[in-house]
């Protein structure tokens, strides 16, 4: 779990950390179902929109998508983009079909990377 208040990530003293939010299990711990995650995300998004209206979000020097992607990749080279997700989704569904299930999920990042040849 990441320390947070309603979805806003907080520091050791409980103060909100500008521009950092969380939702789902990493927000509240391993509990709930898809519906729980949806309500959890709605709660977090309400806070994000509140912060947007109050101009409490980050103001990066270059917020263009290619710059953001370059920053993320410089910090975490193993990134999965939407095309990767589509490939992984197809593989999970095919594995599920082979076993009579809707899908068989990958359980590690390494498995995901290996499946698409990374």
pLDDT tens for 71-97 read 999 999 999 999 999 999 999 999 999
Across the beta sheet with 16-21, the strand order is 4-5, 8-10, 16-21
pLDDT at 55: 96
DSSP secondary structure letter of residue 6: T
Whole-angstrom distance, CA of residue 69 vs CA of residue 75 = 10
Q: In this model, does residue 34 exceed pLDDT 90?
A: no
Q: In this model, does residue 32 exceed pLDDT 90?
A: no
């Amino acid at each position: 779990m990441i320390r947070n208040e309603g979805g806003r990530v907080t520091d050791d003293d409980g103060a909100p950390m500008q521009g950092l939010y969380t939702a789902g299990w990493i927000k509240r711990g391993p509990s709930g179902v898809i519906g729980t995650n949806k309500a959890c995300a709605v709660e977090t998004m309400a806070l994000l929109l509140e912060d947007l209206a109050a101009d409490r979000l980050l103001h990066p020097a270059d917020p263009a998508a290619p710059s953001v992607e370059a920053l993320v990749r410089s910090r975490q080279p193993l990134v999965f983009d939407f095309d990767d997700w589509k490939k992984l989704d197809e593989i999970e569904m095919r594995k599920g079909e082979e076993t009579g299930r809707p899908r068989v999920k990958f359980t590690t990042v390494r498995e995901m990377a290996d499946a698409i040849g990374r």
